[in-house]
Amino acid sequence: MKVKTKFPAPKGVHFYAELRQRVNADFVSRDLSINANGLMWLKTFIFLSLFAATYLTIILSDFNGITLTLLTLMLGVVCAFIGFNICHDAIHGSFSANKQTNKALSMLFHLVGASPYVWNITHNIVHHTYTNIPGHDEDIEIAPGLIRICPEDKLEPHQRFQHWYAFPLYGLASLSWVLRKDFKKFFQQNIGSRENIHPKIEYFNLFFYKFLYYGLFIALPMIVMNVHWWQVLIGFVLLHLAQGITMGLVFQLAHVVEGTTFPSPDESGNMEEAWAEHQMRTTANFATQSPMAAFFLGGLNRQIEHHLFPKICHVHYGRIAVIVKQTALEFGIPYHENITFSAALVSHYRMLKKLGRPAVA
């Protein structure tokens, strides 16, 4: 069994205590809720309406192959946006102050083919606690043996080309998730150092909602649409390629770019820095000046603020980022940021290229 990783307790006047006090004071002074505002509900309506309209148009219309292909790719991207903007916040409990509202909205995660229960374990509990720690944060284990993300991993000869083939592989992430990943994570003995023990109802939920999803996206189109079964399967793959490349790029640009680190604990499981400082060194923002990124990416382009304040709805990240950045500067803590999406993409490409080759002494 893996040794449980522990972060040291911060001492004296420390970064995170000061930062929380400043952020809390900002919300109080503005008389604002930390949860969803009107913009958040508007985004929710827009993305769910797009999903319903696109899905129904695909299965009920009689469009030709090119139009259906474009609509299918669009549906895949919309599914990713639903995950980013609605489900991510709901599962974190930051969408609403009402737990039942969060639970109801988190169930929409099933519409993108993923289990909110498994995601809560792998993402909320493990990734957010042990960010970028080899052997603990399984979010950095992408196509093990094919893509080398962590310097601690063994270097394979073919990985010298990973900066070219990694991006197409990201497109397969969603397909793997819907068909394999949730089952694998659910039934493996541990996720990181966390032992997997599930309530009995979650065994039912895993299979029930997976097969409901397969019914909605494979069986029902085969029954209703005037196409061959193999065309439906091609459409299913295309949907997940679009969904996967959208998700894969956004997730990787937050933790696997130049400047971020992959620190390991000592033999006793002790980390060198306190948890908040660890988050600052392992996380990066991107496209922070883009209103489009802010609208579509659900705050995932501001991962620093999200990791430090996961209980705050993402529509507030742009404002509190000013406080986070200033406080980090005062405490001498790095604030990693790529101003544009393209800058982050290039940085990720360079990281892949570097990690695919032997370290230079």
Q: What is the pLDDT of residue 2?
A: 61
The partner residues of 284 in beta bridges, in order of sequence, read 336
Q: What is the pLDDT of residues 31-74, one digit of tens each?
A: 999 999 999 999 999 999 999 999 999 999 888 889 999 999 99
Cβ atoms of 140 and 255 within 8 Å: the answer is yes
Would the CA dihedral through 319, 324, 330, 334 be positive or negative?
negative
CB 86 within 8 A of CB 44: yes
Look at residue 60 in the predicted model and tell me its pLDDT.
94
Q: By the 8 A CB rule, do 17 and 274 touch?
A: no
Residues 282, 133: Cα–Cα separation, whole Å: 9
User: Rounded mean pLDDT of the chain?
Assistant: 93
Please state the separation of Cα 343 from the chain's center in Å.
19
Whether 359 has a pLDDT exceeding 80, the answer reads no
Contact 34, 94 (CB under 8 A): yes
Closest CA to 284 of 340, 343, 348, 337: 337
Are 76 and 50 in contact, with CB atoms under 8 Å apart? no
pLDDT at 9: 87
What is the structure's pLDDT at 181?
A: 93
Q: Residues near 42 by Cβ (< 8 Å), separated by ≥ 6?
A: none
Residue 200 CA, distance from chain mean position: 27
Token pair recorded at residue 307: 């990791």
Asked if residue 25 has pLDDT above 90, the reply is: yes
Give percent of the chain above pLDDT 70: 98
Q: Which is nearest to 319 in space by CA: 294, 354, 287?
A: 294
- Asked if 103 and 86 count as a contact pair (C-beta separation under 8 A), the reply is no
Q: What is the pTM of this model?
A: 0.93
Q: Name the band, by pLDDT with cuts 50, 70 and 90, for residue 135.
A: confident
d(CA 265, CA 134): 9
**pLDDT(360) > 70:** no
